[in-house]
Structure 1
């Protein structure tokens, strides 16, 4: 049996593409023929990921389509003869982009509109969280289920050291980390406001580090910079790194004292899992799928009281028993995202298709 996957773009370090490659390893370990097809492929992934124009992309007995943005793949997927499984990774609501970027607003709106065209045209609709599954159900998809992203934590826990970068990060300042795109739903302006409260009431020896692209919504990034100037903060206490290689990302996690998420919309939030894998205590605003992903681990708060958040952040940094207890809870939660458990959820979801498998889950040495 052939079980293929489609992703619009395959980029090294991209959570969706990395997850699809891990799922491909699971499928192959079960004795199935499986390939991954994409419209856009990083040069170093060519030969590993196949071109969507390849006729073999349409030959799957089952095809899993990873949907996160509008693309020509959507209609092609709906017209396949084989069984069709939609894996929905969420689309940021368009209203977050309205004040900053008309193009991004239209893209997000088009994405949700295009998603609706698949209602009644798929055999199974999966969310990578129950938050996403509920959105699919509300649109009219049936049946639905949940299979989480297969997060590649090895790139964080086994990466080589970066001595020059780590020398800077170990200079005595408290490193407060965020990983992700600098876009409006992440509410980076609230991080800046949190820094002001933290400095005023808790500690002035801090550094906020934002790892991720900041050129996607230029007007929004300019607003963040203006807010830093408005508060008359030291610019070197706020690092906006842009995209970084895995070795640098691992170093930022390794030296982070706290991971902070103040986002107001998340469909899963992979960095929460990465932070747990790196033993970085997580402080997060309870929005979207964040409570579900943390599953009782980390420290959640709501409503968005930044004075409370600053106090909690100080406790996670300086109160060793509290910090140790939070990390212990996160280690327990991390087990739920192991390859073995994701593999089990994947096969439970695909069971109705009568897929015959000859061997068990991939062992660590077999994973890609």
Structure 2
């Protein structure tokens, strides 16, 4: 029996790509032959994926094909023509309006992707959202057989040592606010910067803000953020760009608080990563954020920048409050244990095989 995965890309450091590799490991351990097929493959991951057009050589009515849908692409059109039993995992598509001012190609692809998702309602055996928020989107457009499969995260990789150079740079005695995520407008980096400006001015001058995320292709948005930093006369703001995992580990290690003010999230992998690494999380309630946090962290119902800055100061200074938050986050993590998600995945595959 063969269970293969298809996606638009396999990219180093990308959450969906990491999950694909984890799923492949689970499938192979369960005895399935399993390969990955993509349109684009990061050179750093060369040899781990085949060109998606080669899938016809593997395709069979006896196979299960899993497609990771996160943006419109030719891969989706191939997937829906396959004779294989089909599972689609929907990772959500950011509404195109967020990109109109900074990346017209991405705006177009997101717009097309949200149209495309409606075209294949009767062409898959099972469709999974990586959150209930995503599952409800699928149900709303007409998918009948749906489920939830949280993103499969390997907790063990967070035990690897941080990069020593990055550790020395960021562990500098300053109170540290961290956000991790691709530099795109829906993440509302500008709001994080405004909160940090208030925190630094009124609560802790010896502080720093680390914004860890890939900004390639989003240079126009980055330029606006740099202009904001300059206008606010801020110092100690670090845009890391795309960094190796060991450097990201150093960022989490340095962090006193993880702050997310994103306005659209289909899941929120960095929130779970912060939970794993015992960083208190403060996050705005948008999309699947509350679901991802699973009762852990501190959930914001509204954006009052000064109040958020004061809350961050309280969490950093109040050891008892911080301990309660971390205890809640550790409890929330039970939902994402690798063995639980792996078992759920294999159960869904078994359902599709049995029809």
> Which residue in the other structure is 1:243 paired with?
242
Superposed CA RMSD: 1.7
Paired with 1:18 and 1:161, the residues of 2 have a C-alpha distance of: 18
SS at match of 1:66: strand
Indicate yes or no: 2:254 matched with 1:252.
no
SS at match of 2:93: coil
2:139 paired residue among 137, 161, 173: 137
SS at match of 2:111: helix
Structure 1 residue 199: Cα displacement: 2.4
CA contact (8 A) 2:181 2:270 kept: yes
> Which residue in the other structure is 1:118 paired with?
120
CA contact (8 A) 2:296 2:325 kept: yes
Paired with 2:20 and 2:345, the residues of 1 have a C-alpha distance of: 12
Query: Superposition pairs for residues 55-74 of structure 1, below 5 Å?
Result: 55-59=56-60, 61-74=63-76
CA contact (8 A) 1:258 1:282 kept: yes
> Which residue in the other structure is 2:111 paired with?
109
CA contact (8 A) 2:199 2:310 kept: yes
Residues 280 and 57 (structure 1), Cα distance of their counterparts in 2 relative to 1, 3 Å cut: farther
User: Unaligned 5+ residue runs, structure 1?
Assistant: 357-368
> Which residue in the other structure is 1:205 paired with?
206
> Which residue in the other structure is 1:27 paired with?
27
CA contact (8 A) 2:96 2:106 kept: yes
SS at match of 2:121: coil
Structure 1 residue 312: Cα displacement: 1.5
SS at match of 2:8: strand
SS at match of 2:37: strand
CA contact (8 A) 2:103 2:217 kept: no
> Which residue in the other structure is 2:36 paired with?
36
Q: Which moved more, 1:65-74 or 1:199-208?
A: 199-208
> Which residue in the other structure is 1:362 paired with?
none
Residues 218 and 271 (structure 1), Cα distance of their counterparts in 2 relative to 1, 3 Å cut: same
Paired with 2:223 and 2:44, the residues of 1 have a C-alpha distance of: 33
CA contact (8 A) 2:71 2:93 kept: yes
With normalisation by structure 2, the TM-score equals 0.95
Structure 1 residue 208: Cα displacement: 0.6
Query: Superposition pairs for residues 156-167 of structure 1, below 5 Å?
Result: 157-167=158-168
Paired with 1:82 and 1:48, the residues of 2 have a C-alpha distance of: 22
Structure 1 residue 62: Cα displacement: 1.1
With normalisation by structure 1, the TM-score equals 0.91
SS at match of 2:87: strand
Paired with 2:217 and 2:321, the residues of 1 have a C-alpha distance of: 37
Paired with 1:23 and 1:85, the residues of 2 have a C-alpha distance of: 13
> Which residue in the other structure is 1:265 paired with?
264
Paired with 1:289 and 1:20, the residues of 2 have a C-alpha distance of: 20
> Which residue in the other structure is 2:227 paired with?
226
Q: Which moved more, 1:53-62 or 1:289-298?
A: 53-62
Structure 1 residue 101: Cα displacement: 2.8
Paired with 1:272 and 1:166, the residues of 2 have a C-alpha distance of: 21
2:99 paired residue among 97, 100, 104: 97
Structure 1 residue 355: Cα displacement: 5.5
CA contact (8 A) 1:176 1:256 kept: yes
SS at match of 2:334: helix
Residues 117 and 303 (structure 1), Cα distance of their counterparts in 2 relative to 1, 3 Å cut: same
> Which residue in the other structure is 1:178 paired with?
179
User: Unaligned 5+ residue runs, structure 2?
Assistant: none
State the Cα deviation string for residues 151-201 of structure 1 (Å, max 9, x = none).
23433x222343332222222111111111111100011011101221233
State the structure with bigger RCO (CA 8 A, min sep 6), 1 or 2.
Answer: 1
